[in-house]
Chains A and B, each alone.
Chain A
Amino acid sequence: MSIKKIKLSCVLVLVSLFTISMPARAELTIDITLWLDNATRIAVVPFEWRSPSRIPLNMTDVISADLKRSGQFAPMKESDMIETPHSSSEVNYATWRNSKMKYVVIGKLQSIGRDSYQIQFQLLDVEKGTQVTGHSFQAKKKQLRRLSHHISDLIYEAITGERGAFDTYLAYITVTKDRKGQNRYRLAISDSDGYNEQILFESSMPIVRPSWSPDGKKLAYVSYATGRPQIYVQNIFNRHTQRLTDFKGSNLSPAWSPDGRRMAMSLSKDGNAEIYIMDLNTRKLHRVTRSNGVDIEPAWFPDGRSLIFTSDRGGKPQIYRQSIDSRGGVGRAQRLTFDGKENLRGSVSPDGKRVAMVHNIGGQYRIAVLDLEADQLSILTDGHLDESPGFAPNGGMLIYAGQAKGRGVLAVVSSDGRASHKLRLQQGDVREPAWSPYKQD
């Protein structure tokens, strides 16, 4: 290695330490609170890195953390590994069988030029002594973290048969106090593990309900920047922002249609809150509901032909389903929820078969999932004020907002309720999470 190269790598290390330490206070940290007893045992062996310079990213740490967070896997601690093979010929399957591992992941990370890396990995079945899957990639340093999530997705899918959702974003709102004690609201996105937080919008006025466009490129949200709640849309890449609504009253609950061409919302311009659908090209509004109650929090079924929403037309807020066509509502809304005192803020699973909601049972607000075919409600969480449930794009996990030690935290629970983890800020509250769709690039 030349002197020039060494200098360059030192600079890179300093830069990366700086960028990691600066935003760390604001970033989310993860506490795993519950995982499966029968989680699949897997060893993710640290990738080979032959260069004397510092490894650009411990990709296997990111992969192990992803798999562990899902609750489905129990990754082996690096310190417990007796051998650290990097190619299949070096793998001694008996060693891993003795450690009761079902799978082993091995791989290599190589520098192949200036800011260019070659990455290869293999997922091996310990019992069969065969490869399950293997891939190789080229990437720049700043792409390595995302590539790690992608490898986690490939491992997850190869073993569970379900698509992984690690290479996705979370959107959420943080609230901290400034030096004068005033609230500071921030609309932020991060990777699904809380890393790489980016602030999209910041305000002294409240921000609620971020909502992803189906292509994962835009966020709609509600901001009080003008003094009253209005709906805005921001492109997360170029940050271009436009105000979508400026109606009298409250403009709330933006929800993109599955084709991305329409947006359902709740507007109180004509009195109480009613559901409308806006054509995003023409900005024309079609009214969906007409009731004496509050109609709010619409969410689409994946076929785009019906919505659910929260309504207190029957007294207490409950979730209703309404068929729609291009002109608005068709027929009468049907009440979906009958268990519990109240049910609010429904979120439809990606396959359209389940609805997650905030369920008030005995004054406790918990996340519940209604299986529409079986008409069966399961309560997944045990908090006091859990809210804002939303499915991961693979339907396997749900993110929601809860409370821990009086502070707002995000929590993720597997959709069977058997595994969970929490994401919290070092200080302040985090709330209103929304899991992004799969990335399309």
Chain B
Amino acid sequence: MVIRNKLLIIGLLASFGVACSSTSEKPPEDSGQQDATTDTRDSAQDQTPIQSNPFDDPSNPLSKRVVYFEFDSYSIKPEDRDIIIAHAEYLSANSGEKVVLEGHADERGTREYNIALGERRANAVKQLMTLQGVSSSQIDVVSFGEERPIAIGHDESAWSQNRRVEILYPSH
């Protein structure tokens, strides 16, 4: 049964927090895919006295690496633009850095349509990033459709977590 739990979506969005200005950077320490090499690219840009990793700092938009979508939609929510723009600024400033935008969908609809839908979501994120000056050669897009859900379940609370684009840094 499709009952859109809008309150839940709003709640999830609220939990993303608000963008902050810190653009300091170091490899994240929690990603599980991290490369242990120290990032020396632009520590000069680190203007904040706090010596934290922006990818880990919950107040930094770079710490948000998942954006969510409405059912059958690939429109970026206004609240998520700041997250994507922060990643775009990071990528523009670090032209050697690459990112993989991994598109996903909920289980409703057919598997292949969902792969295409996840791809459109990832391409929408890519487009916003390239508008911010990121070179498209830095961005790789792949969609898994409904094949890799975050939440197992057959209701909106699971579906809303699965309709997403993950912003992945392979080198971190």
- Residues of chain A touching chain B, judged by Cβ–Cβ distance below 8 Å, are 206, 208-209, 222, 224, 227-229, 249-250, 252-253, 266, 268, 271-273, 294, 296-297, 310, 312, 316-317, 342, 344-345, 358, 360, 362-365, 384-385, 387-388, 403, 406, 431-432
The chain B residue with its CB closest to the CB of A185 is: B147
If A316-B72, A362-B2, A363-B2 touch, does A252 touch B115 (CB 8 Å cutoff)? yes
Please, how many angstroms separate the alpha-carbon atoms of A294 and B123 in the complex?
A: 12
Contact B112 A363 (CB under 8 A): no
Please, how many angstroms separate the alpha-carbon atoms of A174 and B120 in the complex?
A: 27
Determine whether B119 belongs to the interface, using a CB cutoff of 8 Å to chain A.
yes
Contact B115 A385 (CB under 8 A): no
Determine whether B60 belongs to the interface, using a CB cutoff of 8 Å to chain A.
no
The chain A residue with its CB closest to the CB of B107 is: A385
Q: Which residues from chain B contact A344 at a C-beta distance below 8 Å?
A: 109-110, 113
Please, how many angstroms separate the alpha-carbon atoms of A373 and B65 in the complex?
A: 51
Q: Which residues from chain A contact B120 at a C-beta distance below 8 Å?
A: 272, 294
Contact residue among A206, A250, A384 (Cβ-Cβ distance under 8 Å from B147): A206
Determine whether B98 belongs to the interface, using a CB cutoff of 8 Å to chain A.
no
Please, how many angstroms separate the alpha-carbon atoms of A272 and B103 in the complex?
A: 13
If A310-B110, A387-B110 touch, does A363 touch B116 (CB 8 Å cutoff)? no
Please give the distance in Å from A122's CB to the nearest CB on chain B: 46
Determine whether B18 belongs to the interface, using a CB cutoff of 8 Å to chain A.
no
Contact B110 A358 (CB under 8 A): yes
- Most chain B CB within 10 A, of A250, A385, A387, is at A250
Ordered by A's residue number, 7 sampled pairs between the chains whose C-beta atoms are within 8 Å are A268-B116, A272-B123, A296-B116, A312-B72, A358-B110, A385-B154, A388-B111
Contact A250 B115 (CB under 8 A): yes
Contact A365 B144 (CB under 8 A): no
The chain B residue with its CB closest to the CB of A294 is: B116
Contact residue among A250, A297, A431 (Cβ-Cβ distance under 8 Å from B143): A250
Q: Which residues from chain B contact A360 at a C-beta distance below 8 Å?
A: 108-109
Q: What number of residue pairs across chains A and B have CB atoms under 8 A from each other?
A: 88
Contact B113 A227 (CB under 8 A): no
Q: Which residues from chain B contact A228 at a C-beta distance below 8 Å?
A: 142
Contact A250 B119 (CB under 8 A): yes
Overall SS of chain B's interface: mixed
Contact residue among B2, B107, B113, B154 (Cβ-Cβ distance under 8 Å from A296): B113
Q: Which residues from chain B contact A249 at a C-beta distance below 8 Å?
A: 119, 141
Please, how many angstroms separate the alpha-carbon atoms of A388 and B113 in the complex?
A: 11
Contact residue among A229, A388, A431 (Cβ-Cβ distance under 8 Å from B115): A229
10 nearest A-B residue pairs (beta carbon): A363-B2, A294-B116, A206-B147, A273-B116, A345-B110, A344-B110, A252-B112, A228-B142, A296-B116, A208-B111
Please give the distance in Å from B17's CB to the nearest CB on chain A: 32
Count chain B residues whose beta carbon lies closer than 8 angstroms to a beta carbon of A.
23
Please give the distance in Å from A298's CB to the nearest CB on chain B: 10
The chain A residue with its CB closest to the CB of B1 is: A363
Please, how many angstroms separate the alpha-carbon atoms of A294 and B109 in the complex?
A: 13
Please, how many angstroms separate the alpha-carbon atoms of A403 and B148 in the complex?
A: 17
Please, how many angstroms separate the alpha-carbon atoms of A296 and B118 in the complex?
A: 13
Contact A273 B144 (CB under 8 A): no
Please, how many angstroms separate the alpha-carbon atoms of A206 and B142 in the complex?
A: 13
Please, how many angstroms separate the alpha-carbon atoms of A310 and B111 in the complex?
A: 12
If A206-B144, A316-B72, A363-B1 touch, does A250 touch B116 (CB 8 Å cutoff)? yes
Please, how many angstroms separate the alpha-carbon atoms of A297 and B2 in the complex?
A: 24
If A228-B142, A249-B141, A384-B154 touch, does A345 touch B119 (CB 8 Å cutoff)? no
Q: Which residues from chain B contact A385 at a C-beta distance below 8 Å?
A: 107-108, 154
Please, how many angstroms separate the alpha-carbon atoms of A240 and B78 in the complex?
A: 50
Instruction: Name B1-41 residues within 8 Å CB distance of A.
Output: 1-2
Q: Which residues from chain A contact B139 at a C-beta distance below 8 Å?
A: none
Contact A296 B1 (CB under 8 A): no
Determine whether B88 belongs to the interface, using a CB cutoff of 8 Å to chain A.
no
Q: Which residues from chain A contact B154 at a C-beta distance below 8 Å?
A: 384-385, 403, 406
Render B129-172 as a binary contact track against A, CB cut-off 8 A, 1 for contact: 00000000000011110011000001000000000000000000
The chain A residue with its CB closest to the CB of B100 is: A227
Please give the distance in Å from A418's CB to the nearest CB on chain B: 25
Contact B116 A252 (CB under 8 A): yes
Please, how many angstroms separate the alpha-carbon atoms of A415 and B123 in the complex?
A: 39
Please, how many angstroms separate the alpha-carbon atoms of A252 and B113 in the complex?
A: 9
Contact residue among B107, B109, B119 (Cβ-Cβ distance under 8 Å from A268): B119
Please give the distance in Å from B72's CB to the nearest CB on chain A: 7
Render B80-124 as a binary contact track against A, CB cut-off 8 A, 1 for contact: 000000000000000000000000000111111101110110010
Please, how many angstroms separate the alpha-carbon atoms of A250 and B116 in the complex?
A: 7
Please, how many angstroms separate the alpha-carbon atoms of A317 and B112 in the complex?
A: 12
Contact B111 A432 (CB under 8 A): yes
Q: Which residues from chain A contact B110 at a C-beta distance below 8 Å?
A: 297, 310, 344-345, 358, 387-388
Q: Which residues from chain A contact B144 at a C-beta distance below 8 Å?
A: 206, 224
The chain B residue with its CB closest to the CB of A315 is: B72
Assuming A316-B72, A344-B109, A384-B154, what are 8 further A-B pairs, CB within 8 angstroms?
A: A206-B144, A224-B144, A272-B120, A296-B113, A342-B72, A362-B1, A384-B1, A406-B154
The chain A residue with its CB closest to the CB of B144 is: A206
Please, how many angstroms separate the alpha-carbon atoms of A345 and B113 in the complex?
A: 8
Please, how many angstroms separate the alpha-carbon atoms of A384 and B109 in the complex?
A: 10
The chain B residue with its CB closest to the CB of A173 is: B111
